[in-house]
Amino acid sequence: MTDKDAVSLTRSLLAFDTINPPGRERDCARMAGAILEESGFSIQFFEYEEGRTSLVARAGGSDAKAPLCLTGHLDVVPLGSRKWSKDPFSGESDGDKLYGRGTSDMKSGVAAMLLAARTFGKSLSGTPGIVLVLTAGEEGGCIGSRHLAGQRKLLGRAGAMVVGEPTSNYPLVGHKGSIKFNARFRGVSAHGSMPELGVNAVYKAAAVVTRLENFEFGAAPHAVMGKPTLNVGTFAGGSGVNLVPDDAVIGVDIRTVPGLDHGALLSRLKDLLGKDAELDVFSDLNPVWTAPDQEWVQRVFEICKPFVGEAPHARTAPYMTDAANLLKAYVGAPAVVLGPGEAAMAHQTDEYCSIERTRQAVAIYEAVIKDWCKA
């Protein structure tokens, strides 16, 4: 594969406006499917809503060993309020930088996976094979992969997983888990000059926020991921300064580490919030962690070594990935997060990726596929 292949395919993916919301991944998924079908893959599409299309493509397969899964998402985040100096959808380049919304997060990774898969598509018969899972609706809560995780027959088996999120081609062995919820507090409205006639919902919420600020997880720090964290990210309440507020809502973001039981943690939090709180948990995803001394991970580290200029060691991503949901189907599969994008560029104005790293990612993915399918 050449530089031009990687760049031109990334540009083709950028041209599809898959900003989430609303997403509209269907056309992008169809193009990726056409490339893979032409290369010998069997393809299936799955929509959890109109136009929110994920793709599952497979080639090869054997009873002795499950296939390798390569996964990435097709949606991107909004452009933001700052003005771009580059066209976010045409893939303008300047030196080694390829600009556009989703270049790093993560259409360069998807392009590299498609090109690597195309190399092997028609020669995987009789081998463990590969399965590509390209998801809709990752941004904003991994919604697409959550729906896919319930489609066990569609996903089939996988013996290991590569997630093409932006890592500058450094193999990462996991990421923290996520619990996100809104807590609503009800009160009784009254005139602001007679607060004794009402019940102030903001006071209820504020008292809980103070307790959350001092919340102790009671969990030992993870050797690589460190401590779990809790952040109150939103606080809204009231409709006018001269009214006793009868409604207040807080939004809480918790990041967990391996060994922390989500069910027990949520039970503790419900007790802390009190019986007045109406809890809406809209994200509950376990951490992803593969021991770095795992045999396949060590082989991936060796493949990546010449590209990152050092022997990789255990690092984890600061962000969530679809692996948290897909591992509900691919239970026990080792997983690495490994892609050409720049993590610091994700969601930024004038987002870019490295052309050279995208080219290298094709070679890395080809080597990982070859290694997996040789036995």
Identical fold between 3-175+287-373 and 178-285: no
Residue with tokens 């452009």: 79
Q: What is the pLDDT of residues 316-326, one digit of tens each?
A: 999 999 999 99
pLDDT at residue 375 is higher than 80: no
Neighbour count for residue 235 (Cβ, 10 Å): 13
| Domain locations in the chain as residue ranges | 3-175+287-373, 178-285
Please tell me the distance from the alpha carbon of residue 35 to that of residue 306, in angstroms, as a whole number. 29
Q: Report the pLDDT value the prediction gives residue 1, as an integer from 0 to 100.
A: 38
- In this prediction, residue 2 carries a pLDDT of 41
Superfamily of domain 3-175+287-373, CATH level 4: Zn peptidases (3.40.630.10)
pLDDT tens readout for residues 59-79: 999 999 999 999 999 999 999
Asked if pLDDT for residue 88 goes beyond 80, the answer is yes
Segment 9-24, tens digit of pLDDT: 999 999 999 999 999 9
pTM: 0.93
CATH of 178-285, one of 3.30.565.10, 3.30.70.20, 3.30.70.360, 3.30.1280.10: 3.30.70.360
Q: Which residue pairs from 279-284 have beta carbons closer than 8 angstroms and sit at least 24 positions apart in sequence?
A: 279/181, 279/182, 279/183, 280/181, 280/182, 280/183, 280/184, 281/179, 281/180, 281/181, 282/141, 282/180, 282/181, 282/182, 283/141, 283/142, 283/178, 283/179, 283/180, 283/181, 284/178, 284/179
Sheet with 52-59: strands ordered across: 42-49, 52-59, 130-135, 68-73, 160-163, 335-337
Q: Strand 93-94 to strand 97-99: parallel, antiparallel, or no bridges (unpaired)?
A: antiparallel
Say what the pLDDT of residue 194 is.
98
Beta bridge partners of 185: 248
Helix axes 26-38, 108-120, angle to 10 degrees: 20
Angle at 167 between CA 163 and CA 172, to 5 degrees: 65
Query: What average pLDDT is seen over the chain?
Result: 96
Q: How far apart are CA 247 and CA 236, in angstroms?
A: 8
Task: Inform me whether the pLDDT recorded for 93 exceeds 80.
Answer: yes
pLDDT at 3 over 80: no
